[in-house]
Amino acid sequence: MSGIAVAQDSDATPGSDTTPVLAPTPECGDTEDFEVTQAQTAGPFFTPDSPERTSLLEDGMPGAELLLTGYVYAPNCEPIPGALIDFWQCDDAGVYDNVGYTLRGHQFSADDGRYELTTIVPGLYPGRTRHIHVNVQAPNGPILTSQLYFPDEPANAADGIFDERLIMDVSEDDDRQIGFFTFVVEGNS
């Protein structure tokens, strides 16, 4: 686990000109495997069959732009290509689209395990801190359901579901935030 944290921290220097494309590849320690990403409840707002897309932005959509990126890895430190990653979140006002697919979409990790999602920073709704829902599944592997959180979010402390292990590394770009998080999921072996 420490290997992931180190890799993420090294890419999170605010104001650096490091682009997310150049984010370092996490490395395992000599003896320890990656810890599988903590699972969390899906909550009541998951909708199956989301569209395949890497951007959830739509014309006129309110909210601060967020680029969420990182890798999908197996516990043995191997990247997982072709992993299904399904994101869903509320809008800037804290409202989910439970009729259509606004701010819902899935994609598949690249050959090096990388994923990249363009979206907005989700709003707040009563009882929860700021979060993004996700399902991650290696090809033929089990589904990991979890949520991602923002650092320095005041509402984190009062949220009973919040887990600090699921905080993204977030840095500011010129006109958007960049979140970095590496998922570790069981493969099909």
Residues near Fe ion (CB under 5 A) are 43
Tell me the residue number closest to Fe ion, measured at CB.
Answer: 43
Nearer to Fe ion, 3 or 43 (CB): 43
Shortest spacing between CB 68 and Fe ion, in angstroms:
15
Judged by beta carbon, residue 89 or residue 137, the one nearer Fe ion is 89
Q: How far apart are CA 88 and CA 134, in angstroms?
A: 6
Q: Provide the token pair at 161.
A: 């579901």
- Closest distance of CB 90 from Fe ion, Å: 6
Least Cβ distance, residue 95 to Fe ion (angstroms): 11
Q: Which is nearer to Fe ion, 18 or 156 (CB)?
A: 156
Q: Is 121:150 a contact under the CB 8 Å cutoff?
A: yes
3-state secondary structure 60-114: CCCCCEEEEEEEEECCCCCECCCCEEEEECCCCCCCCCCCCCCCEEEEECCCCCE
Q: How far apart are CA 108 and CA 82, in angstroms?
A: 5
**Which H or E element spans position 178?**
strand 177-180
Closer CB to Fe ion, residue 108 or residue 125?
A: 125
To the nearest whole angstrom, how small is the minimum distance from the Cβ of residue 128 to Fe ion? 6
Min dist CB 147 to Fe ion, Å, is 7
Comparing CB distances to Fe ion, the nearer of 162 and 183 is 162
